Amino acid sequence: MINLPFFTDFLKISNAFTVISIIVLIAGILFLKQLKNKKVNFTKRMLISLALGLIIGIGIDLIGQQFDVYQNFAQIEIATWFGLVGTGFLKLVQLLAIPVVFLSIIKVVIDVQGDRIKSLTAKTFTTLLGTTAISAGVGIFVVKLFNLNGSSFAGDLTEAKIERMADISAQSFPDFFLNLIPDNIFKVMSDNGSIVSVVIVAAMFAGAIRFLQVKKPKEVAPFVTLLDSLKVTVNSVLTNVIKLMPYGVLALVSNTIIANGIESIVGMLGFIAALYTAVLIMLLVYVVMLLVMGVSPVTFFKKAFNTLLFAFSSRSSVGTLPYTLKTLEDDMGVSKETANFVGTLGTTVGMNGCAGVFPAMLGVLIASAVGTPMTFSFYMLVVLVVTVGSIGIAGVPGTATVAATVTLNGLGYGQTISSIGAIFGIDPIVDMGRTMLNVAGSMVSAIMVDKWEGNFDKEAYNTFNETIEE
Residues of 328-344 as b/e, b for ≥16 C-beta within 10 angstroms? bbebbbbbebbbbbbbb
Q: Give the model's pLDDT for residue 286.
A: 96
Q: Indicate the domain borders of the chain.
A: 5-94, 115-195+267-461
CATH class of 115-195+267-461: mainly alpha
All residues at 6 or more sequence positions from 6 whose CB lies less than 8 Å from its CB, including other chains: none
Per-residue DSSP letter, 35: H
Residue type, 300: F
Phi-psi region of 158 (alpha: psi -120 to 50; beta: other; left: phi over 0): beta
| Stretch among 65-74, 144-153, 309-318, 460-469 having the lowest mean pLDDT | 460-469
Cα angle: 61, vertex 73, 66; to 5 degrees: 40
Phi-psi region of 2 (alpha: psi -120 to 50; beta: other; left: phi over 0): beta
Q: Is the pLDDT of residue 165 over 60?
A: no
Q: Give the model's pLDDT for residue 48.
A: 92
| Stretch among 118-122, 126-130, 144-148, 314-318 having the lowest mean pLDDT | 314-318
Burial status of residue 300 (CB atoms within 10 A of its CB: 0-12, 13-18, 19 or more): buried
Residue scoring higher pLDDT (84 or 4): 84
Task: Round to whole Å and give the CA distance between 444 and 452.
Answer: 12
Q: How confident is the model at residue 431 (pLDDT cuts 50, 70, 90)?
A: confident
All residues at 6 or more sequence positions from 31 whose CB lies less than 8 Å from its CB, including other chains: 52
Residue scoring higher pLDDT (442 or 410): 442
Q: Is the pLDDT of residue 169 over 60?
A: no
Q: Are 40 and 464 in contact (CB under 8 A)?
A: no
Q: Are 200 and 181 in contact (CB under 8 A)?
A: yes
Residue scoring higher pLDDT (220 or 154): 220
Task: Round to whole Å and give the CA distance between 196 and 402.
Answer: 14
**236: enclosing H helix or E strand:** helix 217-242
Q: Give the model's pLDDT for residue 221.
A: 92
Residue scoring higher pLDDT (18 or 371): 18
The predicted model gives 391-398 an average pLDDT of: 62
Q: How confident is the model at residue 11 (pLDDT cuts 50, 70, 90)?
A: confident
Q: How confident is the model at residue 157 (pLDDT cuts 50, 70, 90)?
A: low
pLDDT in tens, 62-102: 998 888 888 888 999 999 999 899 888 888 877 877 888 88
Per-position DSSP letters for 127-169, written without gaps between them: HHHHHHHHHHHHHHHHHHHTT--GGGG-----HHHHHHHHHHH
Nearest-10 Cα torsion for 312, 313, 314, 320:
-50
Residue type, 189: M
All residues at 6 or more sequence positions from 290 whose CB lies less than 8 Å from its CB, including other chains: 296, 297, 300, 444, 447
Tally the C-alpha atoms within 13 A of residue 284's C-alpha that lie toward its C-beta: 7
Phi-psi region of 468 (alpha: psi -120 to 50; beta: other; left: phi over 0): beta
Q: Is the pLDDT of residue 112 over 90?
A: no
Q: How confident is the model at residue 373 (pLDDT cuts 50, 70, 90)?
A: confident
Could you give the residue ranges of the DSSP H alpha helices within 315-468? Answer: 317-330, 336-345, 358-370, 376-389, 399-411, 427-453, 458-461
Q: Give the model's pLDDT for residue 425.
A: 67
